[in-house]
Amino acid sequence: MDVGLLGAMSNLKATTVVDGNSIFTEFKGALTEQYVLQQLVLRYEPYYYAKTNSTQEIDFLLQGEEDEIVPLEVKAETNVKAKSLRQFVADNQSKKAYRISMNDYQQEDWVTNVPLYAVNGLEF
């Protein structure tokens, strides 16, 4: 589903879009994840992961060039705590992990933060 269609189905008012960042306050998670999904499906076949009997979930899983599982977590704000992503990386010994957010590019020891605007340039 397109981000515009999602906004229409959610009864998102035009003033919400025009009024700066209020769109991320009201519909931040759904619209941001939908935007990332639209970018990913252009080149990849993403999967979703939820651990049985747990609150852990990973927004997207992709298959890397060497058949490794690459987890992606999407954050609509600059608060980028990702407990589920960190746990998934530890449990599965993932060599790559990405967090998509409003923050600038940043390489950490266990995850790469990619700005939302650059998600369509990701290579796995």
Q: What is the pLDDT of residues 13-43, one digit of tens each?
A: 666 656 655 555 666 777 788 889 889 988 8
With beta carbons less than 8 A apart as the criterion, state whether 118 and 105 touch.
yes
Domain ranges of the chain: 3-121
Does position 112 have pLDDT exceeding 90, yes or no?
yes
With beta carbons less than 8 A apart as the criterion, state whether 47 and 60 touch.
yes
User: Which residues, including other chains, have CB under 8 Å from residue 50's CB and lie 6 or more apart?
Assistant: 56, 57, 58
In sequence order, the β-bridge partners of residue 50 are 57
Does position 107 have pLDDT exceeding 90, yes or no?
yes
| 27, amino acid identity | F
Helices (H), the chain: 3-9, 14-18, 22-40, 83-92
What is the tens place of the pLDDT at every residue in 54-92? 788 889 999 888 889 999 999 987 777 888 999 999 999
Overall pTM > 0.95: no
In sequence order, the β-bridge partners of residue 57 are 50
Angle (nearest 5°) at CA 108 between 123 and 104: 70
Question: What fold, for 3-121?
Answer: Trna Endonuclease; Chain: A, domain 1 (3.40.1350)
How far apart CA 61 and CA 47 sit, in angstroms, is: 5
